[in-house]
Amino acid sequence: MSRRRRHQEGSLFKRNTRNKVWVARWWEDAIGSENQIERIRRSEVLGTVAEIPTKREAKQLLDDLLRRVNRGEHRPQAVLTFKNFVEDRWKPDVYPTLKFSSKKFYDNMVDAHLIPVFGDTQLRLITKDAVQSFLTAKAKNGSSWKTVKLIRTAFGGIIEAAVRDELLASNPVRRTRLPRRGPEKESAPIAAENVTTLIEKLAEPSRSIAALLAMTGLRIGELLALRWQDVDLKNGFLSVNQSVYEGHFDEPKSKRSKRRVPLGPKSVEILRILPRKDEAPSALIFRARNGAPLSRRNLLNRQLKPACKALGLTGVNWHWLRHANATLLDSVGAPLGTVQALLGHSSSETTRETYIGSVPADARRAVEGVENLIGPKWTQVPVWPEMGNTLIN
């Protein structure tokens, strides 16, 4: 009896008066909101009547769809909406394990980008094509390639949790492709003279903060979380023990981020002359009048950006100074392992591929050196024959 109930023929009908399409319907098991199995009515467009001219051909396609269901191989999926899953299951399970900054990241991705589009969509109905169209639309509507990548990363992570909870058979987000990466605004070239000019232009406290970031390679959150007990001016080093984000203190980014960083004479001098009204070792080195941590965002908008605009430096933020430190370390011959340890990276690949750029002067010397090895002087090259427009693409 139960076998006859599982086997089904489904139904077919045509929809629309113009551009008619074949629509298939059948019954399917699904996971309900209370995690129980329930029967639901499935409906799917098979194609246009122009593409599938006969009912017999449409029936063959329907039979293909029902084969797994009738064989008992169908795996029930969730009728839970994306919004309900996020609020009722994903957040309660995941948020207790996240740092404050990571929670803020997911809140922004979910509230600003994902819920408005997929909030009322059942998890089982979030398809690869729907996600791909969503990402493409984001890119076309002005979101940067990096923003689209972050949205996809957050979306994929949430849907993967639904797969682990056996609410979905697979993760459609993982099968999508990022839109083509278009041209991006170039950041100011990293050169010692640019860093020096910027530091000299800044007002305090950003002047001291920028100098220390460029000289130590600390993240801005690590520097603003430093306390006097974390620095040893006599022996010339500091210890990274915390990070701060929007007033919330937390562990540094990774295990390798908890580290000791040597201080050169200039860094020691900067720290030595900073005002220190509160002698308590636990006092923050950079703090507001009430002792609270400074806001990286306010410092960026009120001091760093105006100085960069006046100097004509584009794409500069606090993290640019960390990149500058890595690049300048590389230019003076610091081994990769040393740069990795100083920056607190878990992977040397991150150090090599993301942080170490080239100093323009070094790059020019390298290019000229290669030309001297493989090329004759330009005056020795024969004159090209007249080729008109044949060289124009």
Radius of gyration of the chain (CA): 30
**Which residue intervals of the chain bear CATH 1.10.150.130?**
82-175
Q: Which structure tokens are listed for 300?
A: 């960026």
Q: How many angstroms separate the CA atoms of 161 and 22, rounded?
A: 34
The 10s digit of each residue's pLDDT in 43-72 is 777 778 888 888 888 888 888 777 777 776
Residues forming a β-bridge with 45: 23
- The answer to whether the beta carbons of residues 172 and 152 sit under 8 Å apart is no
The residue that leads in pLDDT, 368 or 301, is 301
- Please give the CATH superfamily to which domain 192-355 belongs: Intergrase catalytic core (1.10.443.10)
Q: Look at 21-35, 93-107, 312-326 and tell me which has the smallest mean pLDDT.
A: 21-35
- The answer to whether the beta carbons of residues 12 and 58 sit under 8 Å apart is yes
- Dihedral over Cα of 376, 377, 382, 387: its sign: positive
Confidence of residue 274 (pLDDT cuts 50, 70, 90): confident
Q: Would you say residue 4 has pLDDT above 50?
A: no
Which CATH code for domain 82-175? 1.10.150.130
Going by C-alpha positions, the residue among 223, 106, 200, 215 that lies closest to residue 153 is 106
Nearest-10 Cα torsion for 209, 210, 215, 217: 90
The 10s digit of each residue's pLDDT in 21-38 is 888 887 776 666 666 777
pTM above 0.85?
Answer: no
Confidence of residue 284 (pLDDT cuts 50, 70, 90): very high
**Which residue intervals of the chain bear CATH 1.10.443.10?**
192-355
Give helix 336-343 / helix 318-331 axis angle, nearest 10°. Answer: 160
pLDDT at 124: 79
Q: How many angstroms separate the CA atoms of 129 and 177, rounded?
A: 10
Going by C-alpha positions, the residue among 113, 150, 153, 154 that lies closest to residue 134 is 113
User: What's the whole-number mean pLDDT along residues 127-149?
Assistant: 92
